[in-house]
Amino acid sequence: MTLAQRGYAEKIDARTTWLDRGLTRLSAPVVRRLSAQRVHDPAFVQQVASFDPWAKKLGDQEFAAAAVDLRAALRRRDFPTAAVAQTFALVREAAARTIGQRHFDVQLIGGRILLEGMVAEMATGEGKTLTATLAACTAALAGIPVHVVTVNDYLAGRDAEWMGPIYQLLGLSVAKIVHGMEPEARRAAYGADVTYCTNKELAFDYLKDRIVLGREANRLQLELELLYSERPRLGRLLLRGLHYAIVDEADSVLIDEAKTPLIISGVAGGDSAEQESYRAALALAKELEIHRDFVIEGRERIIRILPAGLSRLAARAESLGGVWIRRQWREELARQALAALHLFIRDKQYLVKDGKVQIIDEYTGRVMPDRSWEHGLHQMIEAKEGCAVTRRIDPLARISYQRFFRRYLRLAGMTGTAREVAGELWSVYQLATVSVPTHRPLKRRGFPTRVYRSADDKWRAIVSRIEEQQNAGRPVLVGTRSVAASEHLSRLLSARGLDHRVLNARQDREEAEIIAAAGERCRITVATNMAGRGTDIRLPQSSRNVGGLHVIATELHEARRIDRQLFGRCGRQGDPGTYEAIISLEDELVRIYAHSGWRKLTALLSRSGDGANDWARAAMLALAQRAAERLHYRMRRQLLKSDDQLAAALAFSGRAE
What separation in angstroms does the CA of 287 have from each of 202, 315, 341? 43, 13, 12
pLDDT-above-90 percentage for the chain: 46
Per-residue 3-state assignment (H helix, E strand, C coil) for 448-510: CCEEECCHHHHHHHHHHHHHHHHHCCCCEEEECCCHHHHHHHHHHHHHHCCCCEEECHHHHHH
CATH of the domain at 415: 3.40.50.300
Residue 617 lies in a domain: no
Residue 556 sits in the same domain as residue 449:
yes
Torsion, Cα of 130, 250, 181, 138 (10° steps): 40
pLDDT digits over 101-122, tens only? 999 999 999 999 999 999 999 9
Residue 318 has pLDDT above 60, yes or no: yes
Note whether 374 and 457 are same-domain residues.
no
Residue 398: per-residue pLDDT: 79
For residues 462 and 26, the model is more confident at 462
In a domain, 543, yes or no: yes
Question: Which pTM does this prediction carry?
Answer: 0.83
Task: Assess whether 209 and 159 both reside in one domain.
Answer: yes
The pLDDT assigned to 580 comes to: 96
pLDDT of res. 653: 42
- pLDDT for 4 equals 40
Nearest one of 104, 125, 122, 107 to 570, comparing CA atoms: 125
Can you give the pLDDT at residue 344?
Answer: 92
Pick left, alpha or beta for residue 143 (phi over 0 → left; psi -120 to 50 → alpha; otherwise beta).
left
- Number of Cβ within a 10 Å radius of residue 634: 12
* Residue 346 pLDDT level (bands cut at 50, 70, 90): very high
Between CA 252 and CA 250 the distance in angstroms is 5
Beta strand residue intervals within 77-177, DSSP E: 119-121, 146-150, 174-176
pLDDT at 654: 44
pLDDT at 364 over 90: no
Let me know: does 496 contact 466? Beta carbons within 8 Å: no
Contact indicator for 533, 561 with CB cutoff of 8 Å: no
Band of residue 656 on the pLDDT scale cut at 50, 70, 90: very low
Q: Is-contact 379 275, C-beta < 8 A?
A: yes
Please tell me the predicted confidence (pLDDT) of residue 3.
40
Q: Which residue has the higher pLDDT, 602 or 580?
A: 580
Judge whether 44 and 85 are in contact, CB under 8 Å.
yes
- 518 belongs to a structural domain: yes
Beta strands in 306-390 (DSSP E): 350-353, 356-360, 367-368
Domain co-membership, 251 together with 300: no
* Spacing of C-alpha 387 from chain mean position: 29
> pLDDT tens for residues 513-529?
888 899 999 999 999 87
Q: Tell whether the model's pLDDT for residue 321 goes beyond 60.
A: yes
Residues 6+ apart with CB under 8 A from 653: none
Question: Same domain, yes or no, for 487 and 565?
Answer: yes
Please tell me which residue, 269 or 376, carries the higher pLDDT value: 376
- Interatomic CA distance for residues 472 and 109, integer angstroms: 39
556 alpha-carbon distance from chain centroid:
17
313 or 620: which leads in pLDDT: 313
174 near 160, Cβ under 8 Å?
yes
Lowest mean pLDDT: which of 177-186, 275-284, 293-302?
A: 293-302
The radius of gyration of the chain from alpha carbons, rounded to an integer in Å, stands at: 27
- Residue 598 clears pLDDT 70, i.e. is over it: no
Mean pLDDT, range 17-39, rounded to an integer: 60
Residue 7 region by backbone torsions, left for phi larger than 0, else alpha for psi between -120 and 50, else beta: left
3-state secondary structure 68-97: HHHHHHHHHCCCCHHHHHHHHHHHHHHHHH
Range of the domain at 242: 17-262+400-435
Total number of domains in the chain:
3
Same domain, 47 and 166: yes
Give the sheet arrangement for strand 146-150, strand by strand. Answer: 174-176, 194-198, 146-150, 244-248, 410-415, 119-121, 433-435
Q: Look at residues 552, 584, 616 and tell me which one is the last residue of a structural domain.
A: 584
Distance CA(598)–CA(623), nearest Å, equals 9
- Max intra-chain CA distance, the chain: 87
pLDDT at position 386 over 80: yes
Binned at pLDDT 50, 70 and 90, residue 2 comes out as: very low
What average pLDDT score do residues 8-29 get?
64
**What pLDDT, on the 0 to 100 scale, is given for residue 11?**
84
On whether residue 491 sits in a domain, the answer given is yes
Partners of 11 in the β-ladder: 2
- Domain limit, last residue, from 584, 613, 639: 584
Domain match, 194 and 81 both: yes
For residues 175 and 30, membership in a common domain is answered with yes
Which pLDDT does position 205 carry in this prediction? 94
Instruction: Find out whether 115 and 87 touch, Cβ atoms under 8 Å.
Output: no
pLDDT at residue 649 is higher than 80 = no
Whether residue 192 is contained in a domain is answered as yes
